[in-house]
Amino acid sequence: MINMLQRKFSSQLVVNPTRARGLDEPHTLDLVITDDSAALDNIELLNPLGNSDHAVLKIKCNVQASTDTAEDKFIFNKVTSLS
């Protein structure tokens, strides 16, 4: 997987451990992988929810919505005759 990420010039953006339980060694189990690090900003690790031992990741995404409009598509082979 690491070789594929390097070939695609992708980056893993989570650098802090995201799972910790008791005295166990913390681990980085949650990954954010992208080939456009400018599209993601300000990754925050928040406290776990409830009894979970996984941190919550809060990620700000800098993306723009598409302005393309959907076109109607007709499936002519499904039309039945009205006569």
One digit per residue, pLDDT tens: the chain, 83 residues?
A: 778 877 878 877 787 888 887 788 888 877 777 777 677 778 888 888 888 888 888 888 887 777 777 777 777 777 666 65
Residues linked to residue 54 through DSSP beta bridges, in sequence order: 19
Residue 22: both structure tokens together: 């008791």
Residues linked to residue 32 through DSSP beta bridges, in sequence order: none
Segments making up each domain of the chain, as ranges: 2-63
The three-state secondary structure class of 68 is coil
Q: Are 5 and 13 in contact (CB under 8 A)?
A: no
Whether the pTM exceeds 0.85: the reply is no
Q: What DSSP state is assigned to residue 56?
A: E
Q: Are 54 and 48 in contact (CB under 8 A)?
A: yes
